[in-house]
Structure formats: C-alpha cells, structure tokens
Amino acid sequence: MEQGLNKIKQLKRALKKDPDSYNANLQMGMYHIYKEDIPAALPYLEKASSAMPDNAQLSFVIANACRGIGIPDKAQEYFIRALDTSPDNFEYLHAYGQLLQSSGNLDKAIEIFIKASTIRPESFELLNDIGVLFFQKQDYNQSLEYLEKACTANPNYSLALVNTGYVYLARDELEEIKPVLDRLEALDAYDPEFLELKDQYINRSRQVSDQHEKVQTDLNFSEQLFSIMPLRIIKNFGEDKLPQEIGLSIVVPIHNENENIPLLYRELVGVLSNLREAYEIILVNDGSTDGSRQVLEQIAQGDRNVRVIEFRRNYGQTAALSAGFKYSRGSVVITMDADLQNDPADIPRLLEKMAEGYDLVSGWRKDRNDKQLTRVIPSKIANGLINRLISATGVQLHDYGCTLKAYKRGIIKNINLYGEMHRFIPCFAAWLGVKVTEIPVNHRPRIHGQAKYGLSRVPRVIFDLLVVRFFSDYMTRPIQFFGKIARKLSFIGLIALLFLTGLDLFTPLEISAGEMLIMLSILMVAILQIITMGLLGEIMVRSYFEIQKKDSYIVESIINEE
C-alpha cells in the first residue's frame, strides 16, 4: 500500500513538471482504471493519447471507457482512431459495431460486423449478432442466412437456434420451427429461452387458423465479449474460449477456513477419484484474512483439477457461489461448505438420486450438529415459512439452508443470484419447472474455525423471503402485492381503532382516539413505504446487473483458469 502511494506521489510530481508526459499520464490513467474510477482516468488517458495518437490499443481503451460511462460521440471518435491505425483488428471492429448498434445506426453496424466476420469467420457469436441486426431491419432472409451460419459454426449454440425460431415465427413458417425446437430440447429442455419460444410457437399454432398477425419479438444478442480492462491485459479481449464441458464441478465458498481447507481437499479427492468421472474443484476465496489464500494457492499449484477464484474483498456466500457457477464447466455442479460439516462422502448419494430423473437434489441435515437455540430452531422456522410461501410450486423441503446440493448445469446457468439468495435456489428452480428433491445427509460438528452465521441473520432471511414472494408471484402485477399489504394494514388499524374506542368508553383512561389514530396511520404508511422502497431497490439492482451483464463481485485472480 505504501509503495503504491509513493508511486502516485512520484507520478503527480512528474506531471507537475511535465503535464504532457506520455508515461506519467498513461500510468496515472491506468491507476484510476484499476480503481474503477473511469471519469478520473479519462483526462490522463486522453493526454497520453495526444502525445502518441498512433497508439491503437490506448485509443481502444479510451473508446471502451467512454462507451462504459455513456459518452458515445467521444467513444466513436476513439474507435475510429484505433481502426485508422489497425483497420483489421477484430476486437476493435466488434466493439465499434456494438457501439453503432446501441446508437441505432444499424446499417453501419452491419457493415462493421460483416468486416469483422471476414477476419474471424468462425466467431458464431458475431454471426448471431449480424443476424439480429438484419432482423431488426426486417430483412428476414439475410437474418436467417447469418443465423444458420452461426448454427453451422457451433451446432450447440442455443442462442442462435432460438433466434432462428423467432425469425420463422415472424415469417409464419411454423413447420420450419419444429426441427429447431427438437434441437433445442435435446440441448437443454429447461432453458428458459427455449421454453419461451415453445410457448409462442404453441400459441401461434392455435391462432394461425383464425388470423395472420405477425409475431413481434426482439432477438437476443450474444453476451458482450468486451469490457473496460487494464491496458496490461488488453491482448485478451475477444478470446471467446469455449470451456470444455466435464462431468462434475465441486463449488466451495471459503471465508477464513485455513485449517479446514487441506482436510476438505483430501476428503474430496478421495471421494471423486473413485467416481471415475472427469471433475474440477472450484474453491472461491471470499476475502479471507486468516491465511486461507496461501493454503489455496499451494493446493492449486499441486493439482490442475483445482481452480481457485480470489475475490478482492468479502462479498458473501451468495456472490461466492455465483462466481463458482459462472466459471464451472461440469454437467453436474455440487456445492458444499468448507467447514467440514458437509460430508464429501455424500456426493455419490446425491448423484445416485439425480440419476433417478431429478434436476436438483438438496441435502437435508436431518441430525444437525449445531446449537439448538441459535441455529437449529431459527432454521426450522425459516424452512416452514419458505414452504408455505412456495407451496404452489409443489416443492417442499426440510432444509433450504444446507449448502450441500447437486444441480444440473442448465439450472445454475439460468439463475441470477443477488443479496443472500443462495438458500432460495430450489425455489427459483421450482419456478423454472424442474424436478427437485432432497435426501438426508451427514452433518458433522465443526472442529476448526468459527461459525459465520447466528441469530443475526434471521431478519435477513425474513426480508429475503419477502423478496422471493414478490418475485415469484407478483413481479408482473405488483399492485396485487401492495394491495394485500395495504388491506392487512387497514385491518390492523381498524382493530386498533376499535380497541382505543373501547378504552375511551369503558375505562377511566383519558385517551385521544384521534391522536392515536393519526399516529397509527403514520406508522402503517411508513411501513408500507419502507417495504415498497425495498422492493423497488431490489428491482433496480437486478436490472442494473442483468441489463449491463455485470457481476455483483470483483474477481482479483483465478489460479488454474485454463
């Protein structure tokens, strides 16, 4: 830290002597990029670019930075400058095309994307995006041509297949959709995009005999390949690697468990080696401060099957699981705690149950080795509440809080987690229509370290339950949700008013019912407003991360990435 501060002081002194210094401006700009302060970085980077205008990489970084903070005109200026120096650079062309598309300049975006596709014709994501642009121009023939190219380049690319189905819907060519649906079902029968396309196809088939309305929909762009990155790793832009899928991924979130990690690793390897299935162990270090990082690095150096994801700070168990899901490659993903209370010997039993046709198998700590008052009793109450809230799904589990679970890949790749929602994954999975069950698992007493949860998390679980209820049943009709709350608050207020009236009539107490009613009304309105603001905040946070495809955590490094 001290060395970094001294470096910044040196850069400031250098800039004071020579404000136009290329090296000092560049380093100062990259320092602010590293700190994620893009507005502060731009003036330094632009000065560096003025001193060396032919530096295409620097122009590209500035263009991406401007694009990221919403300055499209300046972003376009620097994209053009980068392409003037390197006109055949795929990354520059792709990012510039994305800017043009977001600005509504479809013709120019298509021209740039097509040029990029001649440089990298195997980029199926780019071919998909060209097809989307032609669809937006209602040029369905060209759209189909490029979507089919994307499917040829990668037959398992479900996004292009879904988009192809929507083009056929727009053209009322229902017979052409059937083979597309068959291919998608074979890839992942629970993919929400596939299910949505299938629903539209069924609805359209019912209508086709009576009317000929065109299906209006928006196709889906591929995930954005590029983002604002430090100059030192800009060479990695656009390297769209397709991770080789393996049989099994074990995801373990870790926070201050340095004594338990080696023991857990040895137990895991012993169990997984007997399964005769390709596997990986993903250990997510959630900002540990007890030396866990050094232990994890040592394990990863000796075993290429172990991948370690290092967070910059502590983000919580939900974020750690979300990162593990994102980087996992397994057809089946199993999660477990690092405190040795979950028994790795239960992994084969989870897989055996899944082989019966289930998509998610959850562990049930039937005989818990935890404190009754602070852990077991609150857990039972929370589980009862959850079951009552999601009774319509048909899923009723004894233990939602058990981290030991087995998921099919399609589930965890289609669920976005925020806050502390990891314990509610079975709920979200149930709403996707998948088959969920649970089995009793061994629960061992904690030997090393300290428990991370206690009674303090009970209010968080209650608030999370409120959010789950809202998103499950009322997301598309919020007035019903708030109407029910208002009705219940009104009922409580009426009971309180009758009680106060009784006190005033039948007791010698001098109570001003009017004043008490006003205070009660203010309290009820305040409660309703707080609930409303909380739920609106949840919606805004989810929209922010999902629209911009951002993660709720920052990964510092990955060991044994590939």
C-alpha 458: how far from chain center: 24
Q: Please tell me whether residue 557 adopts helix, strand or coil conformation.
A: strand
Q: What are the backbone dihedrals phi and psi of residue 496, each rounded to the nearest 5 degrees, phi first? A: -65, -40
User: Going by DSSP bridges, is the β-strand pair 360-364/405-408 parallel, antiparallel, or unpaired?
Assistant: antiparallel
The answer to whether 312 touches 287, Cβ cutoff 8 Å, is yes
Cα(440)–Cα(143) distance, rounded to whole angstroms?
A: 51
Residue 23: which residues within 8 A CB-CB, separation 6 or more? 14
Residue 400: which residues within 8 A CB-CB, separation 6 or more? 362, 382, 383, 386, 423, 424, 426, 427
Nearest to 195 by CA among 433, 546, 412: 433
| Backbone conformation region of residue 399, classed left if phi is above 0, alpha if psi is from -120 to 50, else beta | beta
Q: What is the pLDDT of residue 11?
A: 74
Residue 242: which residues within 8 A CB-CB, separation 6 or more? 154
| Identical fold, 53-207 and 246-471 | no
Residue 372: which residues within 8 A CB-CB, separation 6 or more? none
Q: What is the pLDDT of residue 291?
A: 87
Q: What is the pLDDT of residue 342?
A: 92
Whether pTM exceeds 0.75: no
Cβ neighbourhood burial of 274 (10 Å; 0-12, 13-18, 19+)? exposed
The answer to whether 519 touches 500, Cβ cutoff 8 Å, is no
Structure tokens at 414: 């289609």
The strand ranges marked E within 198-321 are: 246-254, 279-285, 306-311
Structure tokens at 481: 């949700």
How many CB atoms sit inside 10 A of residue 184's CB?
A: 21
Residue pLDDT tens, the chain, 562 long? 444 456 677 777 777 878 888 888 888 888 777 777 788 888 888 888 888 888 888 888 888 888 878 888 888 999 898 898 888 888 889 888 888 888 888 889 899 999 988 988 888 888 998 998 898 888 889 999 999 999 998 888 888 898 998 898 888 888 888 888 888 888 887 777 888 888 888 877 776 654 444 444 556 666 544 433 333 323 332 333 334 568 899 999 999 888 999 999 999 999 998 887 889 999 999 989 888 999 999 999 888 899 999 988 888 888 888 889 888 888 899 999 998 999 999 999 999 998 888 889 999 988 887 676 666 777 787 777 777 766 666 678 888 888 899 998 878 776 666 555 666 777 767 666 678 899 999 988 888 766 655 445 555 555 566 555 555 555 445 555 555 666 666 677 667 767 766 766 676 666 565 666 666 667 667 666 766 665 565 556 555 445 445 555 577 778 876 5
The answer to whether 48 touches 58, Cβ cutoff 8 Å, is yes
Handedness of CA 170, 174, 178, 181 (dihedral sign): positive
The residues facing 407 across adjacent strands are 333, 360
Structure tokens at 212: 């000929």
DSSP category for residue 53 = T
DSSP 510-532: ---HHHHHHHHHHHHHHHHHHHH
Domain ranges within the chain, ordered by starting residue: 53-207, 246-471, 474-547
- Alpha-carbon Rg for the chain in angstroms: 28
The residues facing 335 across adjacent strands are 251, 405
Distances (CA, A) of 2 to 6, 7, 293: 6, 9, 22
The CATH number given to 246-471 is 3.90.550.10
Q: Please tell me whether residue 400 adopts helix, strand or coil conformation.
A: coil
C-alpha 433: how far from chain center: 20
Q: What is the pLDDT of residue 440?
A: 93
DSSP 55-98: -HHHHHHHHHHHHHTT-HHHHHHHHHHHHHH-TT-HHHHHHHHH
* Of the options 1.25.40.10, 1.10.10.60, 1.10.10.10, 3.40.640.10, the CATH number for the domain spanning 53-207: 1.25.40.10
Residue 324: which residues within 8 A CB-CB, separation 6 or more? 249, 251, 252, 253, 282, 284, 309, 333, 335
Structure tokens at 48: 């560096």
